[in-house]
Every structure is written in C-alpha cells, then in structure tokens.
Structure 1
Amino acid sequence: MTLAAATNENLAGISNVLIYSAMAVYTLAFLAHIAEWVFGSRSKVGRTAAALTTDADAAKSAAGPVVQTRAGGTAVLERPKVVTRSAAGQRDVPDGPGAHGGTEKGDLYGRIAVSLTVLAFLIQAAGVLARALSVQRAPWGNMYEFSITFSTVAVGAYLGFLAAKKNIRWMGLVLVATVLADLGIATTWLYTESDQLVPALHSYWLWIHVSTAIFCGAVFYLGAVGTLLYLFRDSYEAKLARGGNPGGFARSVLERLPSAASLDKFAYRVNAAVFPLWTFTIIAGAIWAGDAWGRYWGWDAKEVWSFITWVAYAAYLHARATAGWKGRKAACLALIAFACWLFNYYGVNLFVNSLHGYAGV
C-alpha cells in the first residue's frame, strides 16, 4: 500500500470544511464579545474608581478639625486618619464585562459569545478528529496540525475553567481573537496536505511527547493573557491610587477586569500548575530521542529552546518566591518565558534547521 493510498481524502476534505466552519462561528463569537464590551461600557462602569473617589471624598469631609480639651485646658486640633480602599482589594467581576457593567443586555451578549465559542470548539475538535482519522495517526505531525490542535486545546482549557465556575469570561475576547489569528495563519501559510509521516515518527512517544507539549502551551497561553492584562490593570490601579484620572476608554475596559491581584494570582497558579508537565515533556522528548536517534540530548535547536523555555518559567516561579521580584518584574519574566515558547513553536520550525523538521512546516 502506498502512502497516498493510506490517506482518506474524503475525511481530509471534511476536516478542512469543519476547520473553516469553526472559524466562521468563532467570528460570530468575536462579534458577540465585542457587543458585550460595547453595551457594558455604556452602563455604570468605574466601580473601583468610584469606590476610591467616594472613600477619599468621604474621608476629606470627615477630616474636619476636631476640638479636644485636655486636662490642662489646652485645645488642640486633630484630624482622623484617612483610609482609602485599594483597587486591588475589590471583588472580581461577577461573570464578565457585560455583567460587571451592570447591563442585562451586555451580559446576554456575553453568554451568547460563550455559547458560540462552545459550538465553534466542538466543530473544531471534530475537524481535528477527522484529520486524525484521515491518516490513522496523531493529528499533530506538522505545524498545520499542531496549530489547529493547539488552539482547540486552548479553547477547551478556557471552557474547562468556565465549567469549573472560574470567572474568566473576561478572557473571551482576547482568546477568540487569537484563535482566529492562529487558524488564519494555519490555513493560509502552514497548510499541509493530509499524509503519512516518516517512519521515525511512528512511535507511541508521538502521542505522549507532543500531546503534553500542546497542552502545556495552551495553558501557558492562558497564563500569558492573564499576565498581560495584569500589567495593564496594575498600571490603572496605580494611577487611581495616585489620584490620577484615567481616560474613558481605560475606565470602560480595565475597570471591568478582575483586580490586578486576582489576575496575578490566576496567571501564577496556571503557570505553576503546568510547569511540572512541561518538565515531563522535555524528559519524554529526550527518551524518544534516545529511541529514534540513539542519544538522549544532542543540542538540537528544538531541544535547546525547550530547555530555554523551561529555564525562563523556572526563573519566573523562583522570582515569585523572592521578595524583590514579585509583581510587575515577575510578570515580565512570565511574558518572556511565553515568548520563548512561541519562538520554539514558530521560530525554530520556520527559521532554524532542526532535526525536528521531519514533516516540513
């Protein structure tokens, strides 16, 4: 049997149709998320800013001179201590931008967006499955397959958090936009015809090593989004604390995110949780390299950048445990670490000669 005969072209075609269909539904979800933010921004946003302003104004009003008479008959003026509430201490948003904005209409669009995201996820997952069935192997033998599987897992992880009652709907707009970008790049520049792989890749380690790499990357992505939004929200809260007056756009967007402290905690927890699995990914790759190439480590570009990514995330986690490197400094390390993962994903395959380039792009 030839390699071409071993490919089910009908299933490969169905997979392509499903991927494009998922992109269409993701586009509708993107528009619904836009509507969620727009309608939410027309309502009573600025709850944290209002709380800070109210507390400060109330404290100033109550800070009038108080006359006290001491035993010696001397009258002294004292002001009570002014205590303002920190923005970082605010509660997280109840469910999403629309709900936080206080409009039922905005919240409705948000729920529609999540429903459309679920539908798109199911269609995309079916497309990935059809791709796998068309060649009877794992659907991540080249960059196109890796990309469509990666974005599927990323959306699945997001929906998993929502199903677990974790309020991360604030991530929906960014997630759907980047998934659309990922699928656009995959179908436009990375597309590879469904085909069999070279014999060296016919190993059960393909299922173990690459699947864990995809899952780790998907969760690292969620952590990176949380970290990036943390940096914006932290700057916003710092400006409020200094008595500044952020612009209307900043208020309408950043005010409806969780507090900086909550975003920072979310990013740290997901990165810390998946880091051991990334360690296992590198170990599994070394074992597979021993079976395929007769050596466990050969300083191949993919191996090197996987290790660099590991070092970067290890540095981030260590920084979080070091008093002088918490907050924004540690967040910058987390973004650098994810950038290393992205370069390992795209850069090494496209720009560097590597033994991992069996299937081209």
Structure 2
Amino acid sequence: MLVNSTMADLSDLTFRTAFVIYIVAMLMSCIYYGRMFGIIDMRRAHEAAQKRAARAEQKVAVAGGGSELVDAPAADTPETPFDPVEYDNRVRGARKWAGMTQSLVWLGVLLHIVAVVTRGFGAKRFPLGNLYEYILMMTAVIMVVAAAVIQRKKWYSVYPWLLAPMIVAMYLNSTVFHIKAAPVVPALQSYWLPVHVSSVSIGASIGIVSGIFSLLYLLRMWQPRGEERGFFGALAKPLPAAKTLDQLAYKTAIITLPLFGIGIMLGAIWAEVAWSRPWGWDAKETVSLITWVLYAAYLHARATAGWKNAKAAWINVFALGVTIFNMTYVNTVIAGLHSYAGLN
C-alpha cells in the first residue's frame, strides 16, 4: 500500500501550525488570567467594604436605640472608593482577551482535526496505527471536549491549566514520538483497529480532561475562595469554585468509564480473533484494566456516602497518572503484544 506523501506532509504542517496557535492562545489566556487578579481583588475589596459599612450601621442603630440608622464612621469606609466605571472597563478588557483566546483555540482545533484526517488519507488507513497517531488523536479529542465545555460554561480561567500540558504533549509528539506515515504491521490490518482503538482513545482523552479538573478541584479545596494564601493561592484565585470543578470532573468521568470499558471489551474480542485468546495479561492490557478499575473506583467513591469528594478526587488524579504512564512508558519501554509505538 503506497503512502500519499503530500497528504502526510500536510498533516505534519497543520499539526505544527495548530501547535503554534495553541501557544499564542496560551499566552493570551495568561494575560486574561493576570487581568482577573485585579478584577477579583477590586470586587472583593468592594464587597468587604460593603459588609463593614453594614456592620457599622447596625452598631450605630443599636447604640441609638434602634430609632434610626446613621451613616457609618469615616474610618470604616474603604481608602479607595469603588469605581464601577473602572470595574466595568476592566471586565470588558478581560473578556476581550478571553474571546480572542477562545477564537484561537477553535482555529487550532480545526487545524488539529485536519491534521488527523489528512494523516489518515496520507497513510491510506485509519490514523491510529502507532503512538504518534494515538497522541495526535487524543490531543485533538481533548481540545474539542475542553473547548466546548469551557465556552459553554465561560470558564476561560481554566485555559492556562489545560493548554500547558497539551502544548508539552504536542511538542513531544512532533519531535520524540514523530513517525512518518507508513503501512501498519499485518496484525493491525483489521477492521477492528478503528473500532477498538478509537473507543479507547476517546475514552482516555475524556478521562484526562476529568483528571485535570480533579487536580484543579484539589487546588481549589486547598486554597478556598477568599482565603487564598501564598504563591499557590495566587494561582488559584481566578479558578471556578471547588464544587463546580468537582462536578465537571465527575460528569466527564461518567462518560469515560463506559467508553473506555467498551474499548477494552472490543480489544478482548479482537484478541480472540487475532491471537486465539481474549486476554493474556499483556502489559498494555493489564495497565488499561487497572485504569478502568480506578475510574470505576472514583465514581463509586464519589457517589458513596461518607466519602469526602477530595479523597475520591485523588483516585481520579491517580487514574490520570496511570493513563499517562500507559501512553508513554508502557508504549515505548515495555515489550509486549501491544508494542506498536513504532519506536522500539
């Protein structure tokens, strides 16, 4: 089977272009993140001043027998009066950076998808035959899911935390893990390839998004809103509430569990056809099963009375770590029946 080198080169070009666009979007999201610090501080100072003024009025009213309320003492008013016009200008300015970030992310996602499609046309097969193509597909799915969720919920402050690991993964994929388009080994020349690997990759991609939100949830729990302290407190200040992050991690894990489980079962059926046995405790099979069990344990703990959500979130974070371990170390170092990374 010949390779269409033109389409393969186009895939590499669009992937690297998407990578550059994500970097620019990352920089813009960091500017938005930085502007949110001033907006949050200004809003919190105003809210604190209002509370102090309300308490002062209550004290004066009580001292006067409750007959009338008088103005709070001058000492209880904020040193810098709240300027609603300046506050609105800051909010509008931050929203512009958020809008530009979102637009760039969607442009990057479009090119990312084009890279996946043209890779398939270039290799003249489903583009999931090696580690490079697997990461290419996973990062594309992650960005599609994340961009849709963030735009819908308007949680633009999450972008720096999401784009940073995606940029690192895409850089490694275009350098260390890059493989030129070529026919796959005979064992992968089966209609089971797109069915099994796509369900596993999509499930794992959504699981990675869930794990990232669990990490942010743990950070927010450590640094509650209005009580942030130190360097990590400053980093956590623009993040959504802990409950919001936890709910999103839980909802995405609900999607991950069946998708990933279906992928494992389809892999077992394929193994029965190809190797005359459904399960052989190969390294890839074993670690994938462990990952699925961790997601199941997370959902069970999350829904069990008596379990704190923070403890359950650690299970999801551990599942994230095992997924990354399976995708990198198991694929590149451990030899087995699933050693199709193309780097061995």
- Deviation of 1:62 after TM superposition, in Å, equals 5.0
1:36 corresponds, among 9, 32, 53, to 32
List per-residue Cα deviations over 1:126-176 (Å, max 9, x = no partner).
11111110121111111111111111111111123246x233323222222
Cα pair 2:11 2:116 within 8 Å, conserved: yes
- Secondary structure at the counterpart of residue 161 of structure 1: helix
2:200 corresponds, among 198, 213, 216, to 213
Mapping of 1:79-228 within 5 angstroms? 102-162=90-150, 165-228=152-215
Alignment of 1:12 with 2:8, yes or no, is: yes
1:258 corresponds, among 240, 249, 258, to 240
Equivalent AA in structure 2 for residue 136 of structure 1: K
Q: Distance in 1 between matches of 2:192 and 2:18?
A: 29
Cα gap change, 1:103/1:196 in structure 2, threshold over 3 Å: closer, same or farther? same
Alignment of 1:305 with 2:301, yes or no, is: no
- Secondary structure at the counterpart of residue 355 of structure 1: coil
Equivalent AA in structure 2 for residue 347 of structure 1: Y
Normalising by structure 2, what TM-score?
Answer: 0.84
Cα pair 2:217 2:245 within 8 Å, conserved: yes
Structure 1: segments with no counterpart, 5+ residues: 68-98
2:321 aligned residue = 339
1:286 aligned residue = 268
- Secondary structure at the counterpart of residue 306 of structure 2: helix
Cα pair 2:128 2:134 within 8 Å, conserved: yes
Cα pair 1:312 1:333 within 8 Å, conserved: yes
Q: Distance in 2 between matches of 1:285 and 1:238?
A: 45
2:81 aligned residue = none
Q: Distance in 2 between matches of 1:101 and 1:246?
A: 27
Equivalent AA in structure 2 for residue 257 of structure 1: L
- Deviation of 1:323 after TM superposition, in Å, equals 2.5
- Deviation of 1:206 after TM superposition, in Å, equals 0.8
List per-residue Cα deviations over 1:245-264 (Å, max 9, x = no partner).
6248724x423221111111
- Deviation of 1:114 after TM superposition, in Å, equals 0.8
- Secondary structure at the counterpart of residue 42 of structure 1: helix
Equivalent AA in structure 2 for residue 45 of structure 1: D
Normalising by structure 1, what TM-score?
Answer: 0.81
1:246 corresponds, among 218, 223, 229, to 229
- Secondary structure at the counterpart of residue 237 of structure 1: coil
Alignment of 1:328 with 2:310, yes or no, is: yes
Cα pair 2:132 2:341 within 8 Å, conserved: no
Cα pair 1:40 1:100 within 8 Å, conserved: no
Q: Distance in 2 between matches of 1:53 and 1:295?
A: 70
**TM-align CA RMSD:** 2.7
Cα pair 1:150 1:215 within 8 Å, conserved: yes
Cα gap change, 1:330/1:58 in structure 2, threshold over 3 Å: closer, same or farther? farther
Cα gap change, 1:236/1:162 in structure 2, threshold over 3 Å: closer, same or farther? closer
Q: Distance in 2 between matches of 1:250 and 1:201?
A: 49
- Deviation of 1:113 after TM superposition, in Å, equals 0.8
Q: Distance in 2 between matches of 1:226 and 1:101?
A: 30
2:20 corresponds, among 15, 21, 24, to 24
- Deviation of 1:52 after TM superposition, in Å, equals 7.4
Equivalent AA in structure 2 for residue 169 of structure 1: Y
- Secondary structure at the counterpart of residue 323 of structure 1: coil
- Deviation of 1:51 after TM superposition, in Å, equals 5.2
Number of paired residues? 320
- Secondary structure at the counterpart of residue 325 of structure 1: coil
Q: Distance in 2 between matches of 1:322 and 1:308?
A: 21
- Deviation of 1:26 after TM superposition, in Å, equals 1.1
Cα gap change, 1:66/1:210 in structure 2, threshold over 3 Å: closer, same or farther? same
1:315 aligned residue = 297
Q: Give 1 or 2: higher helix fraction.
A: 2
Equivalent AA in structure 2 for residue 312 of structure 1: L
- Deviation of 1:44 after TM superposition, in Å, equals 3.9
Cα gap change, 1:234/1:359 in structure 2, threshold over 3 Å: closer, same or farther? closer
Mapping of 1:62-77 within 5 angstroms? none
Cα gap change, 1:169/1:357 in structure 2, threshold over 3 Å: closer, same or farther? same
